[in-house]
Amino acid sequence: MAIDLDAAKNDGFLSPLIGNLMELTSLGIRKNNFRGPIPENIANLQKFNRLLSSQNLFTGRMPHSKHLEILDLSQNHLSSRIPANIIALRS
């Protein structure tokens, strides 16, 4: 399952309930006004391999997810080290 909310003018926090979507493979939420942390429980999603969340207001750290293959966190306010498994992703 893929969710695409790019440029949908969403504002607020990304709900931790996103971690209950066990069939989620891709989340596109670019060009919105999501803020706060990226929910930690997305790292538990076994099929989740694509996160496109550029141009938001996310803060904190990126949850450790060993299943990600595609990741775009540009133009946010994240403030922690990038997890080693993410550094190893092909560009």
Instruction: Walk along the chain (91 residues) and give the pLDDT tens digit of each residue.
Output: 999 999 999 999 999 999 999 999 999 999 999 999 999 999 999 999 999 999 999 999 888 888 888 989 999 998 876 666 666 666 5
Q: What is the pLDDT of residue 79?
A: 83
Is residue 36 left, alpha or beta, with left meaning phi > 0 and alpha meaning psi from -120 to 50? Answer: left
Give CA–CA dist 33/7, Å, rounded: 9
Half-sphere exposure of 48 (CA within 13 A, CB side): 23
The domain ranges of the chain are 2-87
Report the residue count for the chain: 91
Q: What is the pLDDT of residue 22?
A: 97
| Tokens (6 digits) for 24 | 């989620």
Q: What is the pLDDT of residue 84?
A: 66
In which residue are the tokens 């709900």 written?
15
H/E element holding 35? strand 33-36
What fold, for 2-87? 3.80.10
